[in-house]
Amino acid sequence: MNAIDDKHHTLPAAQLATMVQEAHERTLECVADLHDAQLEVPLLEIVNPLRWELGHCAFFYDAFVLRPRRGRPAVMAHAGDLYDSFGVDHDERWHLDLPERRATLDYMARVKDAVLEDLARGTEGPEQTYLHLLALIHSDMHCEAFTYMRQTLGYAAPAFVGRHAAASSAHAGPLAGDVAFAGGRFLLGTSPDAPFVFDNEKWAHPVELAPFRIARAPVTQSEFAAFVDAGGYLARALWSRQGWGWRTRTGLQHPPYWQRAGGGWLRRDFDRMVALEPHAPMVHVSWYEAEAWCRWAGRRLPTEAEWELAASAAGADADVAAGSDVPTLAAKRRYPWGQGEPDDTRANLDAGAAGCVDVAAFAASDSAAGCRQMIGNVWEWTASPFYPYPGFVVDHPYKEYSAPWFGYRKVLRGGSWATRPRFAHNALRNFFPPHRNDVYAGFRTCALAQPPHSAPAQPPHSAPA
């Protein structure tokens, strides 16, 4: 079964058109307040030229939605020579003769109008729906990238950040404690009836898990500050060989956006300095830094299978999905709280809040076992390298989405405060090189060993505070 042959996943053309229009408007908002000089950014590994990024989003719709569907010529001649991310090397993007701002926005509008015109003819089934969702989610990912690129560049937050207050209190405090899982067999990955699936999520397959204990919440800024204040960045024994090489090359002695202020720390949040939020999750941290903190604290990162079990097991003690000889997909939740889609009570997503909230916020987000905020707030690094699942084949319309990156990236799970809601679910695999600390990444941890006579995982109402 390839990515787009499931005939159950068809959305009405009118619904897709509304989604396309909204995604186009959000993409425009990512840069609408920036003056032309701010669009000219320095050549950095972790950013793209902003005009290139805009054009690339439009090109993706043209290449993956319009041309495959109608066999029509490109909306802009030779657009692939400018905006194809696999045809144009990263550093080369600064030397292209890119259209100016007005022409770029005109190209985006012409692509959007052509997509809407195509949709006005009516939907033709799951293939069209899948290609539209692919392009929409691609735009969603780039909107999040625009947001953290603005952080990297010290620009103000986009206008849509913090537009609506979260229903859950942002200042809810810490959330201590672990949840214990008995281990056993678990089905890792996505089922064929999922609304949308990337190639690297296919398909759910059994894995064996040893007993483990995972934190109810991610590591907080105050917990990470204790590591920094203890000299953790200068303690060679806490770092892997590759991590220490990265730290010495960068010269980092604390997280990249932190600054000493008296006896404490300030953190740059876009274009302003703020005090650390002690109970908010650590954010803008690389996999190497997370690994070093774990070694300092006597903890470890979870594997992606452990993370997904903690998020998706439906039984209060997790034995419905683990510990059984024959695991079933029916025993997995799409979201930690169940099957219902994210909303403002369940997850800090879609930039509705102006950044991360305390780790104890959003009690309604709890998984069956009592792990909180496994969707939203911060992406969470796992111990797992990004590899294909068994039986992986390159059958996806976007053939370069996963295969080029296998082996040297690390898997992140969950989504951040800037992630768009249609993108995040329990089985989603994000993947970045281990040195990237510009993205909205944090981490939760596992105990090194299962203590004897430990209690099984408890439901949320009786889990330790």
User: pLDDT by residue (tens digit) across 110-119?
Assistant: 999 999 999 9
Give Cα separations from 112 to 23, 33, 79, 102 (angstroms).
10, 21, 15, 15
- Read off the amino acid at residue 33: D
Q: Could you tell me if 389 and 207 are in contact, meaning their C-beta atoms sit under 8 angstroms apart?
A: no
**Rounded to 5 degrees, what are φ and ψ at 139?**
-60, -40
The pLDDT, as a whole number, for residue 223 is 98
- Average pLDDT of the residues of the chain: 91
- The residue that leads in pLDDT, 216 or 465, is 216
Question: What pLDDT is recorded for position 4?
Answer: 52
Is 138 a residue whose pLDDT tops 50?
yes
| Strands, E assignment, 221-302 | 258-261, 264-269, 272-275, 299-300
Structural contact between residues 33 and 156, judged by C-beta atoms closer than 8 angstroms: yes
Spatial CB neighbours of 445, under 8 Å, sequence gap ≥ 6: 214, 215, 219, 294, 297, 299, 300, 301, 302
pLDDT band at residue 125, thresholds of 50, 70 and 90?
confident
Position 324 scores a pLDDT of 44
> Has residue 124 got a pLDDT over 90?
no
Distance CA 401, CA 267 (A): 33
- Using pLDDT thresholds of 50, 70 and 90, give the confidence band for residue 8: low
Task: Look at 465 and 44; give whichever has higher pLDDT.
Answer: 44
| CA 416 from centre of chain | 6
DSSP, res 268: E
* Least confident span in 150-154, 272-276, 391-395: 391-395
Specify the higher pLDDT residue, 319 or 398. Answer: 398
pLDDT of 123: 66
**Closest by Cα among 432, 422, 429 to 202:** 429
Q: Distance (Å, rounded) from C-alpha 9 to C-alpha 369?
A: 30
175-219: pLDDT as tens digits? 999 999 999 999 999 988 888 999 999 999 999 999 999 999 999
Q: Which residue has the tokens 């691609």?
A: 138
Residue 462 pLDDT > 60: no
- Walk me through the domains of the chain, giving residue ranges and CATH numbers: 13-153 (1.20.120.450), 165-465 (3.90.1580.10)
Rounded CA separation 224/349 (Å): 23
Taking every pair of Cα atoms in the chain, the longest distance, rounded to a whole number of angstroms, is: 67
Q: Name every residue whose Cβ is closer than 8 Å to that of residue 420 and which is 6 or more positions away in sequence.
A: 26, 137, 140, 143, 144, 349, 350
What pLDDT sits at residue 102? 98
pLDDT at 325 over 80: no
CA distances from 415 to 69, 130, 149, 266 (A): 31, 21, 17, 25
Q: What is the pLDDT of residue 367?
A: 97
Contact status, residue 24 vs residue 68, Cβ threshold 8 Å: no
DSSP reduced 3-state for 148: helix
35-50 pLDDT, tens digit each: 999 999 999 999 999 9
- What's the burial of 204, exposed, middle or buried (CB within 10 Å: 0-12/13-18/19+)? buried
Query: What CA–CA distance (Å, rounded) separates 197 from 398?
Result: 12
The better pLDDT of the pair 7, 146 is held by 146
In angstroms, the CA 283 to CA 288 distance is 13
Residue 150 and residue 139: Cα distance in Å, rounded?
A: 16
pLDDT digit string (tens) for 232-281?
999 999 999 999 999 999 999 999 999 999 889 999 999 999 999 999 99
DSSP states of 359-424: TT--GGG--TTS---SSSSSEEEEEEE--PPTT----SSSTTSSGGGTTTSEEEES--TTS-GGG-
pLDDT score for 314: 87
Of 270-274, 353-357, 459-463, the range with the lowest mean pLDDT is 459-463
- Between CA 34 and CA 413 the distance in angstroms is 31
* 278-306 pLDDT per residue, tens: 999 999 999 999 999 999 999 999 999 99
pLDDT in tens, 363-375: 999 999 999 999 9
**How much is the average pLDDT of 125-147?**
95
What pLDDT score does 392 carry?
95
Average pLDDT over residues 219-241: 98
Q: Which of 232, 256, 166, 228 is nearest to 439 (CA)?
A: 256
pLDDT of residue 66: 92
pLDDT band at 79 (very low <50, low <70, confident <90, very high): very high
Instruction: Please list the alpha-helical segments (H only) found in 194-286.
Output: 221-229, 241-250
370 Rama class: left (phi>0) / alpha (psi -120 to 50) / beta: left
- pLDDT digits 0-9 by tens, 155-177: 999 999 998 766 567 789 999 99
The answer to whether residue 389 scores a pLDDT higher than 80 is yes
